[in-house]
Amino acid sequence: MTGTGRRVAIVGVGYSTVGRDTGLSLKQLIAQGAQAAMADGGVEQADIDGVAMHAFPPHFVPAYECGALLGLPSLKWTSGSIEGPAFLSAGIHAAAAVASGTADVVLALRPMLRLGATGPTPGASAAGGRQFLEPFGAGRPAQWAGMIKQRMMSEFGWGEEAFGRQMVAQREFAALNPDALLRERITLDDYMNTRYVAKPLRLLDCDYPVDSCGAVIFATEERARDFAQKPVFVESWSFGTSGESDFELAEDMTRTSSFSAAADMWARTSLTPEDVQVAGLYDGFSPITLNWMEALGLCGRGEASDFVAEGNTSLGGRVPVNCDGGATNVGRVHGVNHVAEVVRQLRGTSGDRQRPDAKVGVAANSIAAFTACMLMSAE
């Protein structure tokens, strides 16, 4: 990464069993995900000297406990986060630890247990402005995603088809991905006929909740030579915040912290949006995906609808987006897949969904008050 010390490479990616109700504990999922990433990269337990974890209570295991769980003999560094933009909260911490010299090989994890799958969960606490939302059932993610979708349609003159076309394209990718949970192809009519979750947000705008743990291993360029896979290099990254703790009250829901995160990421590299050939853009809800297309400069402001309609984000397009099918189809692994699939694309190992000669890719997570993005290259 330009200007931040040692060059960082991604050397392993992997997942646990992923399913609606696996019957596995959080620690079992963590063990499976870590072992899969280690096997992918040919990384041994003794190689790992750092662990970064991102998880929300009550489904949280401290990062240092993962060392004992996984039999890692000696950790120089750990980071456990319960806030931040999905997997990249852990992924960027891991990359920064490697770049700074704090650790040489860091395992980043994002475990998930599907809410409701293991009995009651504690109610959310509500401080600040949220105390005026939570007691009335307001402020849920689908609700503010619906507001973003409505504002984008109103501001830019889009119809719901703008979002539906991207969901159809992602299902086409999923049909080519044996690891996707939802693989049956859909049409725009199928999308338009699904029920509303929080009008105008439809069921097919939403990701697919699962039990899972995804893992990505970051290493120095020097150590990357010791491992099995062709390294994928991290060129730049950034977090972004919007200045509002209550996104529902934001002045402009079409311009979120994704824009500040993207601007900072581009400021840290000589690469430009025109260099990007493949993208993994957060799709917890479809409006987020189109928001990131504009924030990252893949298209202009208000142009994401046309960008998708012209086929740019589809198989064979200029910048295929969510080539594994996205979280709407592989399951809500909460941002790990957006990094992992870009890594596989830059390795050239994505099979029938491969973007030919992909050399530069970007992954982006989350929306609203906190976001993050990471730029990667094959060389």
User: What span, in angstroms and rounded, lies between the C-alpha atoms of 183 and 254?
Assistant: 30
- Selected from 3.40.630.30, 3.40.50.1820, 3.40.50.300, 3.40.47.10, the CATH number assigned to the domain covering 139-208+237-379 reads 3.40.47.10
Collapsing DSSP to helix, strand or coil, 266 comes out as helix
pTM of this structure: 0.94
pLDDT in tens, 142-192: 998 999 999 999 999 999 999 999 999 999 999 999 999 999 999 999 999
Q: Kindly report which listed range (120-129, 197-206, 351-360, 368-377) carries the lowest average pLDDT score.
A: 120-129
Residue 202 φ/ψ, nearest 5 degrees: -100, 165
Q: Which helix (H) or strand (E) holds 305?
A: helix 304-309
Q: Residue ranges of the domains in the chain? A: 1-115+210-229, 139-208+237-379
- The fraction of the chain above a pLDDT of 70, given in percent, is 93
pLDDT in tens, 278-331: 999 999 999 999 999 999 999 999 999 999 999 999 999 999 999 999 999 999
Collapsing DSSP to helix, strand or coil, 339 comes out as helix
Class at the top of the CATH hierarchy for domain 1-115+210-229 = alpha beta
Give residue 118's pLDDT: 46
pLDDT in tens, 221-236: 999 999 999 999 999 9
User: What span, in angstroms and rounded, lies between the C-alpha atoms of 217 and 13?
Assistant: 6
User: What span, in angstroms and rounded, lies between the C-alpha atoms of 147 and 253?
Assistant: 8
Q: Which helix (H) or strand (E) holds 89?
A: helix 87-100
Residue 271, CB-side half-sphere exposure with 13 Å CA sphere = 26
Of 40, 2, 6, which is closest to residue 336 (Cα–Cα)? 40
How far from 278 is each of 97, 98, 205, 273, 281, CA to CA, in Å? Answer: 26, 25, 21, 11, 10
User: What span, in angstroms and rounded, lies between the C-alpha atoms of 63 and 51?
Assistant: 6
Of 362, 104, 358, which is closest to residue 235 (Cα–Cα)? 362
Q: Do domains 1-115+210-229 and 139-208+237-379 have the same CATH topology?
A: yes
User: What span, in angstroms and rounded, lies between the C-alpha atoms of 349 and 296?
Assistant: 25
User: What span, in angstroms and rounded, lies between the C-alpha atoms of 69 and 181?
Assistant: 28
Quick count: other Cβ atoms within 10 Å of Cβ 240?
23
